Amino acid sequence: MLQVGKKAPDFKLYDQDGVLRSLSEFKGQKVVLYFYPKDMTSGCTKQACGFAQLYPQFMEKDAVVLGVSKDSVSLHKKFSEKFNLPFTLLSDPDTKVIQKYDAWKEKTNYGKKYMGIVRTTYLIDEKGKIIDAKSNVKAADNPNDTFKLL
C-alpha cells in the first residue's frame, strides 16, 4: 500500500471513451481511485453500481470516482454503457499504474497461484495527497465505506 500522507503518483491512462486522462487534471477535487479485477464480473459490477448509485453524493462532496482495471478501453465502454456508470473507468493493460499503486499481487484460487489485481481503494485529497488507503476491500461495501470517509 502507498502510505497515507504521501503524494499520490500521477499517471496517464485512457478512459472508456479513448480520452487520455491523468490524476493531476483532478487537482482541487477529492479523488476516489479504485482498482478492481475485471469488468462484467459479479463482484466488480456490484462495486461499480454501488459507486454509480452514490455518485451524486460524491459529487456534492466535490469528489470524483475513477475505476482502474487492466481491461481494454472497448470493454470499459461496454461495461460503462451496460450499467450506466456516470464515472470514469481507466484502462491499464500493462498494469504499470496498478503496480505503482501496489494493487498487483500474488493471488491464490483453488490452490493455484497467479498475479492479479487485489481490490484496492485510495482516497486522495484536493492537493493530491493520499488520505486513506485500503486493500482487499469488499466489493459490495466499498462504495458506502469510502463515502463515509469524505
- Which residues form the catalytic set? 44
3-state secondary structure the chain: CCCCCCECCCCEEEECCCCEEEHHHHCCCEEEEEECCCCCCHHHHHHHHHHHHHHHHHHHCCEEEEEEECCCHHHHHHHHHHCCCCCEEEECCCCHHHHHCCCEEEEEECCEEEEEECCEEEEECCCCEEEEEEECCCCCCHHHHHHHCC
